[in-house]
A and B are shown apart, each in its own frame.
Chain A
């Protein structure tokens, strides 16, 4: 079974630009979550989607948004990039049922200059 796939692997953007990151979950997984990882803040929850509906959102500004498609694939978008948005963005999928573990992709490394 293929794991969680994130594209692109690396991105370099300049301040003020916007970026879209893509995630394909494990086949059969309908829940997709996004996390931001930085050395200073660790892993921080961005949002979670299930069946195209956002069920929870973390404490990030409105510049961070996401969506999920009918095939469970997900994208997240960051607009008006700031230097502090430089981070590893991780996508994870999980199966149905409460207490299903997250399975992570290898992330997209975003650098904002």
Chain B
């Protein structure tokens, strides 16, 4: 498949280690945030979301942290696996705008 982004920041982690992917969002009025995973040749896949009235949300092997003070979002992946290799995007939404603003993406490479 074609590259999603040729010059994305890349995070390389050893298999089994934890990964942390960061995102700075742009709009202080944004009240809903999503992390997406995109594999080559596929569309973005929903991982986890969080609303602005929360600071932390956990899913299966993933945790999202939201710091509204500094407009920062992070995705933590526990026990990273080869199948986690992909490009990860954060997305922000403000209620009533019906559109999402996406971050530039981070490429995660899992080393065996």
Which chain B residue shows the least CB distance to A90? B43
Q: Which residues of chain A from 27 to 65 have a CB within 8 Å of any chain B CB?
A: 31, 33, 35, 37, 39, 42-43, 45, 48, 50, 55-56, 58
B31 within 8 A of A: yes
B83 within 8 A of A: no
Which chain A residue shows the least CB distance to B93? A99
Which chain A residue shows the least CB distance to B43? A104
A99 surroundings in chain B (CB, below 8 A): 31-32, 49, 51, 93, 95
Total residue contacts A-B, CB cutoff 8 A:
65
Q: Which label, helix, strand, loop or mixed, suits the secondary structure of the B interface?
A: loop
A105 surroundings in chain B (CB, below 8 A): 43
Instruction: Tell me the bound Cα distance from A39 to B98 in angstroms.
Output: 24
Tell me the smallest distance from the CB of A35 to a CB of chain B, in Å. 8
Q: A43-B102, A48-B98, A56-B97 are in contact. Are A101 and B5 (CB under 8 A)?
A: no
Q: Which residues of chain B from 91 to 112 have a CB within 8 Å of any chain A CB?
A: 91, 93, 95-105
